[in-house]
């Protein structure tokens, strides 16, 4: 289990603290043994602003996880790919072919269908759901699992059951 400190920074959300910008969408930075960006919001400029306010250097992000193929979670991907150095990008296998092609031309694309390890103690559930497929991230800690989701289209109950049975 994770013995080291883990920190989560919300970089993008529809509500924000004073001095930060808000918009519809989501992005979270997982700071553990590696820096992993979960989702990118829809506006790269807003993501950039909030990253700068939190002293987050995109060049230090080695892995990116895009939960699903909706603009408010994947729209900032072009910005972040311009700012990072050859990151590994995890997307659901059902992700948009156009976006997969763009990502593959600028990063190391990993299409995910089943559960797999992203980093030490950090995993993806793999694609869950039927109509809108989405994957979530779960982090193994000394006290149990921390689960990070995008929209939870497969249902939060289904996501948590998957992690519980891991």
Can you tell me the distance from the alpha carbon of 131 to that of 118, in angstroms, rounded to the nearest whole number? 25
Residue 65 has pLDDT above 50, yes or no: yes
**pTM, rounded to two decimals:** 0.94
pLDDT confidence of residue 24: 96
- Write the CATH number of the domain with boundaries 7-164: 3.60.15.10
Confidence grade of residue 53 (pLDDT, cut at 50, 70, 90): very high
Question: Six-digit token pair at 102?
Answer: 């763009």
DSSP letter at 37 equals E
| CB-based burial label for 97 (10 Å; 0-12, 13-18, 19+) | exposed
Are the CB atoms for 154 and 129 separated by under 8 Å?
A: yes
Q: For the range 18-21, what are the long-range contacts, defined as Cβ-Cβ under 8 Å and sequence gap of 24 or more? A: 19/53, 20/49, 20/50, 20/53, 21/46, 21/49, 21/50
List the chain domain ranges. 7-164
Is pLDDT of 14 > 60?
A: yes
How far from the centroid of its chain's Cα atoms is residue 143's Cα?
A: 22
User: Using one digit for the tens of pLDDT, what is the confidence trace for 80-130?
Assistant: 999 999 999 999 999 999 999 999 999 999 999 999 999 999 999 999 999
């Amino acid at each position: 289990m994770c013995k080291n400190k883990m920190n989560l920074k919300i970089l993008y959300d529809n509500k924000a603290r004073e001095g930060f910008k808000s918009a519809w969408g989501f992005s979270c930075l997982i700071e553990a043994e590696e820096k992993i960006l979960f989702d990118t919001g829809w506006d790269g400029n807003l993501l950039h602003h909030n990253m700068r306010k939190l002293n987050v250097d995109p060049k230090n992000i080695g892995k990116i996880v895009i939960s699903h193929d909706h603009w408010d979670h994947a729209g900032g991907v072009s910005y972040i790919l311009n700012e990072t150095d050859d990151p590994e990008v995890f997307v659901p296998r059902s992700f948009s072919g156009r976006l997969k092609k763009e990502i593959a031309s600028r990063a190391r694309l990993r299409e995910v269908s089943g559960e797999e390890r992203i980093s030490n103690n950090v995993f993806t559930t793999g694609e869950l759901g039927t109509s809108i497929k989405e994957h979530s991230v779960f982090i193994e800690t000394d006290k149990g699992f921390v689960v990070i989701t995008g929209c939870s289209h497969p249902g939060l109950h289904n996501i948590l059951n998957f992690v519980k049975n891991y």
